C-alpha cells in the first residue's frame, strides 16, 4: 500500500509538471502586432510595417500624419497614428478567446495638461483627428498622473493611478468573449504602471477597425513598444488540462 501511494504521488508530480509546462504554452498571449520604434527620427511613421505582424493581419502598415516619426517621436498635437485591422477583431466577437490588449510605453514630454492616448478605434478613424475622436477604449495618461478611460463617447474619470511622471506603460484590454450582439457588447479595462481599473461595459456594438495612439492639440512625446496581443480564454484550457490529468492518473494506476 505504501509503495502504491508513493507511486501515485510520483505520478501526480510528474503529470503536474508536464501539464504546467503545457499550460504555459497553451495560455501564452499571441502577439499580433509589435512596433519597437527603432527607426529614423527624421522619417515619418506613415507607411512603415511593424516589426511583428500576425498572418491574419498581413499588409498592415502605419497610417499617420507628419507628426509621428519612426523613432517614436510625436511632435505637434491633434493627430492620430493607427494600424488598420479590417474585420480581424470584429469576426471574433463572441469567441472564447476574443480578448485583446493594446499597450505601449509613452513619455508625454510637454507640460500643461498634455496627454497621449492609446487604444482601439472604429472605422471612421483618420490621421488628422484628435486622439480620442472615434475611440472605443482609449487610456489617457496625463502629466499630473491621472488615468482617465474614454469609451462610448465619454470620458470615465477613473484616476487609476496618481502621482506618476515620465514614461509609463499603459494600455487597454478589450474583452469580447461575452459579446452576444444584443444585450452584451463586451467590456474594457484600463491599466497604467501595472495598476488596473474596474471593467467598463460597452453599451452598444462597435466596429473595432484599428488600433493606435494620438494626442490633443498640445500633445507631444515619445512612444515605444506598441503591442497588440490576443489573450486566450483560461477556462477552456483549464478544463482540457484537468481531463488530460485525470486520464494520465487512471492509466498509470491501471
Model confidence over 102-126: pLDDT tens digits? 999 988 775 555 678 899 998 889 9
* Tens-digit pLDDT profile for residues 42-68: 999 999 999 999 999 988 999 998 889
Up-side HSE of residue 249: CA atoms within 13 Å toward CB? 15
- pTM for this predicted structure: 0.81
Per-residue pLDDT, 241? 40
Q: Are 64 and 29 in contact (CB under 8 A)?
A: no
DSSP-derived 3-state class of residue 173: strand
Q: What pLDDT score does 22 carry?
A: 38
Domain ranges of the chain: 1-28+246-254, 29-231
Q: Is residue 19 over pLDDT 80?
A: no
Q: Are 195 and 185 in contact (CB under 8 A)?
A: no
Residue 39's pLDDT band, with cuts at 50, 70 and 90, is very high
230 in Cβ contact with 100 (< 8 Å): yes
* Residue 245 in this model has a pLDDT that exceeds 60: no
* pLDDT at residue 114 in the model: 66
Residue 237 above 60 pLDDT? no
* Mean of all residue pLDDT scores within the chain: 80
Top pLDDT among 81 and 114 is at 81
Q: Is 237 helix (H, G, I), strand (E, B) or coil?
A: helix
More confident residue, 1 or 226: 226
CA nearest to 149, candidates 162, 139, 141: 139
Mean pLDDT, to the nearest integer, of 219-240? Answer: 76
Cα separation of the two ends of the chain: 15
Mean pLDDT for 206-235 is: 86
3-state secondary structure of 148: strand
Three cell numbers, residue 37:
520604434
Position 3 scores a pLDDT of 57
Percentage of residues of the chain with pLDDT beyond 90: 43
User: Is there a contact between 136 and 121 (Cβ–Cβ < 8 Å)?
Assistant: yes
What class does CATH assign to 29-231?
mainly beta
Q: In the predicted model, is pLDDT for residue 77 greater than 90? A: no
User: With bands split at pLDDT 50, 70 and 90, how would you rate the model's confidence at 137?
Assistant: confident
**What is the average pLDDT across 190-216?**
90
Q: Is the model's pLDDT at 175 over the cut of 50?
A: yes
Tell which residue, 127, 125, 75, 118, has the closest CA to residue 226: 118
The pLDDT assigned to 142 comes to 62
Amino acid at each position: 500500500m505504501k509503495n502504491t501511494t508513493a507511486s501515485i504521488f510520483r505520478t501526480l508530480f510528474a503529470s503536474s509538471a508536464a501539464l504546467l509546462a503545457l499550460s504555459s504554452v497553451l495560455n501564452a498571449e499571441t502577439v499580433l502586432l509589435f512596433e519597437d520604434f527603432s527607426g529614423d527620427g527624421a522619417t515619418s511613421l506613415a507607411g512603415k510595417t511593424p516589426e511583428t505582424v500576425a498572418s491574419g493581419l498581413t499588409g498592415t502598415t502605419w497610417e499617420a500624419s507628419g507628426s509621428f516619426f519612426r523613432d517614436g517621436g510625436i511632435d505637434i498635437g491633434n493627430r492620430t497614428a493607427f494600424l488598420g485591422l479590417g474585420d480581424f477583431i470584429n469576426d471574433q466577437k463572441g469567441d472564447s478567446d476574443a480578448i485583446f490588449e493594446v499597450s505601449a510605453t509613452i513619455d508625454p514630454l510637454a507640460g500643461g495638461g498634455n496627454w497621449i492616448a492609446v487604444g482601439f478605434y472604429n472605422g471612421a478613424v483618420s490621421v488628422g483627428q484628435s486622439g480620442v475622436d472615434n475611440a472605443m477604449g482609449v487610456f489617457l495618461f496625463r502629466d499630473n498622473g491621472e488615468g482617465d478611460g474614454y469609451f462610448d463617447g465619454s470620458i470615465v474619470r477613473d484616476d487609476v493611478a496618481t502621482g506618476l511622471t515620465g514614461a509609463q506603460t499603459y494600455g487597454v484590454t478589450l474583452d469580447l468573449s461575452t459579446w452576444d450582439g444584443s444585450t452584451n457588447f463586451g467590456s474594457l479595462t484600463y491599466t497604467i504602471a501595472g495598476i488596473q481599473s474596474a471593467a467598463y461595459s460597452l453599451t452598444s456594438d462597435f466596429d473595432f477597425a484599428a488600433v493606435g495612439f494620438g494626442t490633443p492639440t498640445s500633445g507631444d512625446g515619445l512612444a515605444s513598444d506598441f503591442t497588440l496581443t490576443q489573450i486566450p480564454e483560461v477556462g477552456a484550457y483549464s478544463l482540457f488540462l484537468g481531463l488530460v490529468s485525470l486520464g494520465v492518473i487512471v492509466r498509470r494506476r491501471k
